[in-house]
Structure 1
Amino acid sequence: MALWDRLKESASQMQTQLTAKKNDLKSGAFRDAGMAMCALVAAADGSVDPSERQRVTELILTNEVLRNFPSEDLQRRFEMNLDQLAADFQLGKVSVLQEIAKAKKKPAEARAVIQIGIVIGGADGDFDKDEQAVVREACYALDLPPHEFDL
């Protein structure tokens, strides 16, 4: 199977798993960590491209699991995290990873945050090394083993 097909299949599997847990993923910590993860993946290469910002915003607004929360609230939180990363990527990354770490109290939510990162990263069919690296860092912030997610 080609790498492209494996990426699409993996992102699809993660989305299926997330959708199955939708009713369990309603906490504020999950919402905040999920939006921090989306911003981190969008800015994984150290910059925030306007087209990527728009693409991730669309994914957030159409994601079945994230419909548990008001879309304006999600978008505001995503933009706030992106702005931190755009202003100073290294300092912003520390802050965003701290936000992600808030989800580690509930293992199901922590895993779901990582799955969101993989879904966002693989949505364009290219879960690149920068995106994989920041999702791996998020695994450490959540006390989850990266190999559990093939990272």
Structure 2
Amino acid sequence: MALWDRVKESAQSMQSQLTAKKNDLKSGAFRDASMAMCALVAAADGEVDAAERRRVAQLIAGNEVLSNFPAEDLQRRFNEYLDKLAADFDFGKVGVLQEVAKAKKKPAEARAVIQIGVVIGGADGDFDDAEQSVVREACFALGLPPQEFDL
């Protein structure tokens, strides 16, 4: 199986798992950590370009699990985290990872945040090294083994 197919299959599998848990993923900590994760993936290469911002925003808007929350609220939070990363990527990443870590108290939510990172990163069929690296860092922030998510 080609790498592209494996990435796509993994992202689809993670999305299916998320959808199955949709009713359990309604807390503010999950919402904030998910948007922080999306921002990290969008800015994984240290740059926040307009095309990547739009692509991830569309994925957020179309994600069934995230439909538990008002779209405007998600967009505002996503943009706030992206702006922090754009202003100073390394310093911003510390703060954004702290937001991700807020989901640590509930293991199901913590895993779901990582799954969202994998889904967003793999949606274009190219879950690149920089994207995998920030999702791995999020795993550490949440106390989860990256191997659990094939990272």
**TM beyond 0.5:** yes
**1:55 equivalenced with 2:55 (yes/no):** yes
Query: Is 1:148 aligned with 2:148?
Result: yes
Aligned to 1:86: 86
- For residue 10 of structure 2, what is the aligned residue in structure 1? 10
Confirm or deny that 1:71 pairs with 2:71.
Answer: yes
The letter of the residue matching 1:108 is: A
Separation in 2 of the partners of 1:90 and 1:3?
A: 30
CA distance in structure 1 between the partners assigned to 2:136 and 2:73 by the alignment: 26
Amino acid at match of 1:105: K
1:94-113 superposed matches below 5 A: 94-113=94-113
Q: 2:129 maps to which residue?
A: 129
Give the Cα separation in 2 of the matches to 1:9 and 1:149: 13
- Partner Cα distance (2:49, 2:76) in 1: 17
Q: TM-score, normalised by structure 2?
A: 1.00
- The list of structure 1 runs, each at least 4 consecutive aligned residues, that deviate by more than 2 angstroms after superposition, is none
The one-letter code matched in structure 1 to 2:114 is I
Residue 5 of structure 1: SS of its match in structure 2?
helix
**TM-score computed with the length of structure 1 as normaliser:** 1.00
2:144 counterpart letter in structure 1: L
* Paired letter, 1:10: S
The Cα shift of 1:96 comes to 0.3
The CA deviation at 1:49 is 1.2
State the 1:90 CA deviation: 0.2
Name the counterpart of 2:138.
Answer: 138
Shift of 1:53: 0.2
CA distances 1:73-122 after superposition (whole Å, capped 9, x unpaired) = 00000000000000000000000000000000000000000000000000
- The sequence identity of aligned pairs, in percent, is 80
Secondary structure of 2:143's counterpart equals: coil
Cα-to-partner distance string for 1:38-89 (whole Å, 9 max, x where unaligned): 0000000000011010000000011000000000000000000000000000
Report how many residues are paired: 151
Counterpart-to-counterpart distance in 1, 2:73 and 2:64: 15
Alignment-derived partner of residue 32 in structure 2: 32
Q: Structure 2: how far apart are the matches of 1:55 and 1:99?
A: 22
